[in-house]
C-alpha cells in the first residue's frame, strides 16, 4: 500500500463503483434500513482508507467495494455480510479496532470483521516468520485453529474471505512473483476446494483459471485459443442441437430456459493431465443447461419432473447410459443437485445436458447462501441436509483438542478434496463414505466396536480382506469375532481420519512402551548412517512435521505410520547445518547452472521439471533449493504452508551441461516400419538419447511410452511436433514418470 492525496477522478471512480454495488444490493436487501446500514459502512470504510492506494495505484477503497460486490452478486449474502466486506480491512490497516466496529455496527458485523482480520493475520504470518522451526511453532500456537473455528461460529466469515481472495486473484498481476506464487498456492490448496465444498461454482472456476493463467501461461493461452476456434466452428451446430430440445419442451408445457456452457481452460487442462489426452480428445467440451420451474400443481416430485424432461430430450437424441449422473436422488456433499446426461447431436458431437429446477440452479451457482435462503422460505427437500452434514463434520474436527495446527490444515484440506461414494448395507440401507475408503473404514463408521472386532468383510457377497477398497454401489457386510482387536498393520491401509484415530486410541494405552521401543529403533537406524538421536533436534523435527512433541512423532514411528525417510525430509543436524537468513536472499537472482550461484539445487522427484518449465524453488535452512514445477501438487502444499521458503530460480540453459529424463506417451495406428521411423527420428535426426521404450500393439493400435534425455523444453516440443506428423501417429504428449 502507498499514500497520496486522492484526485477528483479518484473520488468519482469510488462513487461510481459504490453506485454499482448499491444497485446489486437492492435486489438482495428487503428494507430501506438495510440499504442505509450499507451506506454507513461504506462511508466509514471510505474515510478510513482515504488517500490509501493499492499496488496498482488505484484507491484502496475499490478493493472492499469489489469484495462486497462478489459477496452479494456471486455468493448471495445479505446486508450484514456486504457491510462486513466493506469494512473487512479497516481493523488490520487503520487505527480503528474491533470494538469501534462493534460500537458503530453491532456485534454480528464486528464478529465477521474480527474473523476476517484473524484469517488475514495468519495467512500473512508466512512472510513474517522467516525461521522454518519458528514458523511451525507459530502455526502450532493455535492461531490457525482459532481462525478455522470461525466456520463453527459463522460460515459467512469464510464466504467473505473467499470473495476477498477472488478479488486478490483478479488483481494478482501487480504482486511480486514470489508473493503471487504464495497466494496462488494457498488458493489452490485451501480456497478452491473450500469454494467447491460450499457450492460456489463460479468463484471456484474463476480462481482455477487465474491459477492456470499464471502457473502455466503457455498451456492456458494455447487451450484458450483452441476453445475460441472450436466455439467459432461449432456455434451453429450447438444452436441446431438446442432447437429441437426447445420445441419438445415447449410442446410438453414446461416453463424453462436453455443456457450454453463451454468447459473452462482449467477444467480442460486438468482433464488432459489426469487422463493423459490431448485437447482434441476432450469430448465433453460443450454442455447445455436446461433450467425449469417445476409445476406446483403436479403431484410429481422435482426429481420426477427432471426425469420427464430427460424422457422428452432422449426421445429425439441418442444418449450414453453410462454417462447419466443422478445428483437429484443423491446430491453431492456440497448440496449440488442436477440430472446429467450426454447426448449425441445430429452432427455426431457428444454434448452434456444438465437438467435442473430453478431452485437447484440457484444452489449450484450460489451454494450455501442459496441453500439457506430456500430454508428460510420454508422449502425443505429430502436432500437438503447434505451441506449441513459436511459442515457439522468439519466443526467436529475443528473443536478436537488433540489436533495441532499443521495436522489440522492437512485434515481440513483432505476433507475438502475428498469425495463421498454411496454404498449399501446387506439390508439395503444407503450409506456415504469417502472415496478410497476400505472395508475396515466402513466397519469403524458403523461403530467403533464393530471396527475393533472386525476380521473380514463381504463385498457384493464375496469374501475380501479388511484392506479391500470399496466402491460406489457396493453392498458391504462386516464379519466380526469376539476375540478380534485392532492390529498395528491396520494403520498402513486405513483411509478415514475417524478410523485411524480409533485405532491410535486403542494403542495409546501402551504409549510409553511404544515410544521407548521406537526411540531405541530410531537410535539404531540413525547409527547406521553415523548419526545420533538428540532430544532438541527431535523436538525441532517433530514441530516441522506438525506434531506437538517428539513423543507423538515417536509413537507414530513405532506404529509404522511414519518412516525414517519421512523424518529425514525434515531432519536438521545441529553440527552440520547452518540456519540461513531468508531475509538476505534475493529471491529473483537465483540461476540454476550459473557458476556464480553457489546454492545446491535439487530437482524434485515428484514432478521432474526440465529447463523451460515454469518453476518455483523452496529454500531449505542449509541453503539447498528444491526445484518444482509451478503446478506440482507437492509444491502447492509447501507454498501454502511455508510461503517464506519460496524463491524464484531461473534456468541458465547456456551453462547447464546435464540432460533431463522425460517421458512421452504415444498412440496411433500400427503399420509396418512405424516404430523404426519413430526411433530413427528421435535418435538420428534429433540426436536424442532413448533410455527406455515400452510400446505394444493390440488390434492394429500401438500404444506406450518412450523415455528420453533432453536438454530443455524446446527440444521436447520440437520432438512432439514432428512425431505428430509421422503417418499413423494419433497422439503424442509428455507424461509423468511414475
Identify how many contiguous H helices and E strands the chain contains and give both numbers: 30, 23
Give the mean pLDDT per block of 10 residues along the chain (738 residues).
89 96 92 96 96 93 97 92 96 92 95 86 56 40 54 78 95 89 88 84 94 94 92 87 96 94 92 85 86 92 93 93 81 83 88 93 82 66 57 65 58 67 81 88 93 94 94 90 91 90 91 92 81 79 77 90 76 45 69 80 88 90 86 84 83 83 91 88 87 88 91 91 90 84
Cell of 254: 414446461
Give the strand order in the sheet containing 454-459.
462-464, 454-459, 476-480
> What pLDDT, on a 0 to 100 scale, did the predictor assign at position 258?
96
User: Do the beta carbons of residue 642 and residue 618 sit within 8 Å?
Assistant: yes
| Alpha carbons 726 and 213: distance in angstroms, whole number | 31
- Please name each of the domains of the chain with its CATH number: 2-174 (1.10.3210.10), 418-507 (3.10.20.30), 510-568 (no CATH), 582-651 (no CATH), 660-735 (3.30.70.260)
23 belongs to the catalytic site: no
Cell of 167: 478479488
DSSP assignment of 149-199: THHHH-THHHHHHHHHHHHHHHTGGGS-HHHHHHHHHHIIIIIHHHHHHTT
- Nearest-Å Rg of the Cα atoms of the chain is 28
Helix (H) or strand (E) holding 704: strand 701-710
Cell of 567: 523424518
Q: Is 694 helix (H, G, I), strand (E, B) or coil?
A: strand
> What pLDDT, on a 0 to 100 scale, did the predictor assign at position 366?
81
Helical ranges in 260-404 per DSSP H = 265-275, 302-313, 358-366, 368-376, 386-398
The pTM for the full model equals 0.75
CA 620, chain centre distance (Å): 25
CA 695, chain centre distance (Å): 34
Q: Which residue in 214, 82, 90, 273 sits closest to 159, CA to CA?
A: 82
| Alpha carbons 446 and 640: distance in angstroms, whole number | 35
> What pLDDT, on a 0 to 100 scale, did the predictor assign at position 576?
39
| Alpha carbons 223 and 284: distance in angstroms, whole number | 15
Write down the catalytic residue from 10, 20, 89, 93: 93
CA-CA distances (angstroms) from residue 174 to 178, 269, 400? Answer: 12, 25, 40
Write down the catalytic residue from 17, 58, 92, 384: 92
User: Do the beta carbons of residue 367 and residue 201 sit within 8 Å?
Assistant: yes
Q: Which residue in 700, 702, 680 sits closest to 690, CA to CA?
A: 680
Q: 406, exposed or middle or buried, with CB in 10 Å at 0-12, 13-18, 19+?
A: buried
Give the strand order in the sheet containing 601-603.
601-603, 625-629, 615-619, 646-647
> What pLDDT, on a 0 to 100 scale, did the predictor assign at position 580?
55
- Would you give the DSSP letter of residue 438? B
92 belongs to the catalytic site: yes
Residues contacting residue 141 through CB under 8 Å, at least 6 positions apart: 405
> What pLDDT, on a 0 to 100 scale, did the predictor assign at position 575?
36
Cell of 694: 515400452
Amino acid at each position: 500500500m502507498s499514500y497520496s492525496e486522492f484526485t477528483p477522478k479518484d473520488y468519482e471512480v469510488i462513487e461510481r463503483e459504490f453506485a454499482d454495488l448499491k444497485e446489486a444490493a437492492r435486489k438482495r436487501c428487503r428494507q430501506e434500513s438495510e440499504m442505509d446500514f450499507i451506506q454507513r459502512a461504506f462511508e466509514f470504510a471510505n474515510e478510513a482508507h482515504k488517500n490509501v492506494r493499492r499496488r496498482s495505484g488505484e484507491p484502496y477503497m475499490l478493493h472492499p467495494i469489489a469484495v462486497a460486490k462478489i459477496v452479494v452478486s456471486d455468493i448471495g449474502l445479505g446486508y450484514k455480510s456486504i457491510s462486513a466486506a466493506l469494512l473487512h480491512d479497516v481493523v488490520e490497516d487503520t487505527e480503528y479496532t474491533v470494538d469501534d466496529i462493534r460500537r458503530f455496527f453491532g456485534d454480528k458485523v464486528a464478529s465477521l470483521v474480527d474473523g476476517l482480520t484473524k484469517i488475514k493475520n495468519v495467512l500473512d504470518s508466512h512472510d513474517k516468520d522467516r525461521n522454518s522451526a519458528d514458523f511451525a511453532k507459530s502455526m502450532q500456537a493455535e492461531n490457525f485453529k482459532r481462525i478455522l473455528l470461525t466456520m463453527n461460529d459463522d460460515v459467512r466469515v469464510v464466504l467473505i474471505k473467499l470473495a476477498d481472495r477472488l478479488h486478490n486473484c483478479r488483481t494478482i498481476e501487480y504482486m511480486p512473483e514470489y508473493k503471487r506464487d504464495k497466494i496462488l498456492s494457498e488458493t489452490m490448496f485451501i480456497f478452491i476446494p473450500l469454494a467447491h465444498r460450499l457450492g460456489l461454482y463460479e468463484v471456484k472456476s474463476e480462481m482455477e483459471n487465474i491459477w492456470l493463467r499464471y502457473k502455466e501461461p503457455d498451456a492456458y493461452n494455447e487451450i484458450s485459443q483452441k476453445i475460441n476456434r472450436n466455439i467459432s466452428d461449432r456455434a451453429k451446430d450447438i444452436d441446431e442441437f438446442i432447437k429441437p430440445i426447445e420445441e419438445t419442451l415447449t410442446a410438453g408445457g414446461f416453463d424453462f430456459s436453455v443456457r450454453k456452457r463451454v468447459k473452462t481452460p482449467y477444467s480442460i487442462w486438468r482433464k488432459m493431465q489426469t487422463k493423459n489426452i490431448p485437447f482434441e480428445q476432450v469430448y465433453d467440451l460443450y454442455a447445455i443447461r436446461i433450467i425449469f420451474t417445476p409445476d406446483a400443481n403436479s403431484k410429481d416430485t422435482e426429481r420426477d419432473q427432471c426425469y420427464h424432461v430427460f424422457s422428452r430430450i432422449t426421445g429425439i437424441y441418442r444418449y450414453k447410459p453410462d454417462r447419466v449422473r443422478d445428483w437429484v436422488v443423491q446430491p453431492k456433499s456440497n448440496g449440488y443437485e442436477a440430472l446429467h446426461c450426454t447426448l449425441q447431436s445430429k452432427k455426431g458431437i457428444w454434448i452434456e445436458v444438465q437438467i435442473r429446477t430453478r431452485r437447484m440452479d440457484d444452489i449450484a451457482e450460489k451454494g450455501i447462501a442459496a441453500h439457506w435462503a430456500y430454508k428460510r422460505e420454508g422449502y425443505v427437500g429430502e436432500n437438503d441436509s447434505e451441506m449441513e452434514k459436511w459442515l457439522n463434520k468439519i466443526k467436529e474436527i475443528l473443536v478436537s483438542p488433540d489436533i495441532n495446527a499443521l495436522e489440522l490444515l492437512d485434515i481440513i484440506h483432505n476433507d475438502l478434496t475428498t469425495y463421498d461414494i454411496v454404498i449399501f448395507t446387506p439390508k439395503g440401507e444407503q450409506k456415504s463414505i469417502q472415496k478410497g475408503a476400505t472395508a475396515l473404514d466402513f466397519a469403524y463408521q458403523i461403530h467403533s466396536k464393530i471396527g475393533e472386532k472386525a476380521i473380514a468383510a463381504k463385498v457384493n457377497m464375496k469374501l475380501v480382506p479388511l484392506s479391500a477398497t470399496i466402491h460406489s454401489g457396493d453392498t458391504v457386510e462386516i464379519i466380526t469375532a469376539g476375540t478380534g482387536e485392532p492390529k498395528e498393520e491396520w494403520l498402513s491401509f486405513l483411509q478415514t481420519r475417524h478410523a485411524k484415530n480409533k485405532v491410535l486410541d486403542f494403542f495409546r494405552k501402551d504409549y510409553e512402551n511404544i515410544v521407548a521401543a521406537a526411540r531405541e529403533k530410531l537410535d539404531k537406524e540413525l547409527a547406521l548412517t553415523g548419526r545420533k538421536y538428540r532430544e532438541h533436534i527431535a523436538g525441532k523435527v517433530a514441530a516441522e512435521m506438525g506434531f506437538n512433541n517428539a513423543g507423538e512423532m515417536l509413537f507414530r514411528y513405532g506404529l509404522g505410520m511414519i518412516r525414517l525417510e519421512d523424518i529425514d525430509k525434515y531432519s536438521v543436524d545441529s553440527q552440520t547445518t547452518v540456519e540461513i537468513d531468508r531475509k538476505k536472499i534475493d529471491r529473483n537472482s537465483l540461476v540454476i547452472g550459473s557458476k556464480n550461484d553457489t546454492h545446491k539445487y535439487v530437482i524434485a522427484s515428484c514432478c521432474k521439471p526440465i529447463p523451460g518449465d515454469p518453476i518455483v524453488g523452496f529454500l531449505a535452512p542449509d541453503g539447498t533449493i528444491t526445484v518444482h514445477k509451478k503446478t506440482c501438487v507437492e509444491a502447492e502444499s509447501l507454498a501454502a504452508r511455508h510461503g517464506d521458503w519460496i524463491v524464484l530460480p531461473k534456468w541458465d540453459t547456456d551453462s547447464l551441461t546435464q540432460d533431463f529424463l522425460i517421458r512421452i506417451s504415444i498412440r496411433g495406428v500400427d503399420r509396418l516400419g512405424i516404430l523404426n521411423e519413430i526411433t530413427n527420428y528421435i535418435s538420428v535426426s534429433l540426436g536424442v538419447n532413448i533410455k527406455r521404450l515400452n510400446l505394444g500393439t493390440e488390434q492394429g493400435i500401438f500404444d506406450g511410452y518412450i523415455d528420453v534425455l533432453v536438454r530443455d523444453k524446446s527440444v521436447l516440443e520440437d520432438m512432439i511436433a514432428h512425431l505428430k506428423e509421422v503417418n499413423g501417429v494419433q497422439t503424442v504428449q509428455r507424461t509423468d514418470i511414475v
